[in-house]
Amino acid sequence: MSSRTVLIGYNVRGRRVVAALRESGCTTGFTVVDSDPRRAEQAVLEGVHAVVGPCWRLRTLWLAGAHTADHIVVAVQDDDMAQRIISAVRSINDGATIITIAGGSEPQPMVKYLGADHIVNVSQADEWAPDAERPHDRGHAFADLEWTVAERAVTHDEIGCSPLDCRHQVVAVVRRGQRLWAEDPAVAVLRGEDRLLVVTPGPPRT
């Protein structure tokens, strides 16, 4: 039985992944997801099935088949956005192997917490397809940041709102002792008794 792979992000990083898949003999069974129609069109011109839409939206991921994929590679250039995508992917697919390409070592504890199985540094990705174009992305812009998952109460102005509309990136909602991913439709809107797991910049407070 052949495996199915969904690649999220058809930038330079993503194209290197496709090149590596083709070098290993995988020419079918993978789908590209990108929010930029031009990059998605480029993927189609290069013979790759593509879906256009916000990469962190559940509807986009479902259209791409991420809920049934065996392997999901997150290759977006923004490490912060990668964390949000990993959270969304894991909420609809518990069994997939999630691989993310990170711009530095700082976000690695975070993406593992969110459900990534393997983390590949950009420099390692160069080894997958050494003849491909080298990435000129802004992953290094996050090298000086530390990210912390903190738990806090829902504020008064957040009650009745979607967790995705909060001013801080909400990873999950703890409701009656159960952790629900922020993208989970079961969350709907926030309640006063909910607790939030949020991503905040900076080291953990002591």
Per-residue pLDDT of the chain (206 residues), as tens digits, is 356 889 999 988 788 777 777 666 665 678 999 999 988 888 888 888 999 999 989 999 999 999 999 889 998 888 888 888 998 999 899 999 898 887 665 567 788 888 888 887 665 554 444 444 444 443 333 333 334 567 889 999 999 999 888 766 677 788 998 878 777 788 889 999 999 877 654 444 44
Residues whose CB is less than 8 angstroms from the CB of residue 139 and which lie 6 or more positions away in sequence, other chains included: 77, 79, 102, 103, 104, 122
Residues 157 and 74 in one domain: no
Count of domains in the chain?
Answer: 2
Q: Among 86, 185, 115, 83, which Cα is nearest to 173's?
A: 185
> Three-class SS of residue 181?
strand
pTM above 0.85, yes or no: no
Residues 36 and 127 in one domain: yes
Last residue of a domain, one of 142, 172, 187: 142
pLDDT at 173: 87
Residues 135 and 57 in one domain: yes
Residues 127 and 152 in one domain: no
Range of the domain at 131: 5-142
pLDDT at 89: 93
The CA-to-CA distance between both ends of the chain, in Å, stands at 50
In a domain, 206, yes or no: no
- Determine the Cα–Cα distance for residues 171 and 120; give it in Å rounded to an integer: 22
CATH classification at residue 13: 3.40.50.720
pLDDT at 145: 33
pLDDT at 15: 82
pLDDT at 72: 92
> Three-class SS of residue 98?
strand
Q: Which amino acid is at 130?
A: P
